[in-house]
Amino acid sequence: MTPYQHYSYIVLVGICFMFSLVYRTKKKSVLFIYLGTVMLVELVSVLKIIDNNILHSYSTLIYILFFTYYFSKISKKFVPIFYVLGGIAFLSTAMIKLTYNTVFPIEMGIILSSFYILSSILYFYESVNINQAGFITDKESFWVSFAILFWSIFFIFRVVPMYGLAKKDIEFLKQIQMVYKIAVFCTYILFAAASTRKRI
């Protein structure tokens, strides 16, 4: 991202964080923890207090722990499965982190994305197969699941062909990276929508 894009991104995450704080007491949501962590990570990244590779490696582990807790908290049928998914994702990323030490390996991002995709699909599957009052779109968890699924698809679409395109078609790679940046902004607009929902 350019500095302007990065600052705009931080502002958007900050708005999401403020929304999550305002609405959290009404529904006892913990989403503010995730959004606050993202904002802190990005601020530290801008200030260059910690090396970005190290910063994003450890934040990936934190995100896995958070969403393991988040989905296991709201699930009624699949709590053990969420714990298993989270445990596998956490241990896999931790092992990769120890192997590569300081460099942020792309495998960590792919594991995180895969964990997000499986967790959100499992959430949607459970949601459409249980009786619930009101519309699913009234729930914070719907928008959170949609947001991380949306981000994960675009992340994988960006990183899988990245190395091949860097040698063969750099212009197309730049277009993919631009689409990904737009997707990141859209993701946090979805998080903003999630923060304002009345139910978890």
Predicted confidence (pLDDT) per residue in 141-157, tens digit? 999 999 999 999 999 98
Which residue from 136, 131, 135, 65 is spatially nearest to 94, judged by alpha carbons?
65
pLDDT at 125: 92
Specify which residues 139 forms β-bridges with. Answer: 199
pLDDT at 66: 96
Q: Is the pLDDT of residue 166 over 70?
A: no
Helices (H) and strands (E) in the chain — how many of each? 8, 0
Separation in Å, CA 79 to CA 67, 72, 126, 160: 12, 5, 11, 31
The answer to whether 59 and 41 have CB atoms below 8 angstroms apart is: yes
pLDDT (mean) for 131-148: 87
Tell if the pTM clears 0.85, that is, is over it.
yes
pLDDT at 162: 67
Predicted confidence (pLDDT) per residue in 47-67, tens digit? 888 888 788 888 999 999 999
Alpha helices in 77-197 (DSSP H): 79-100, 106-128, 140-159, 162-168, 170-195
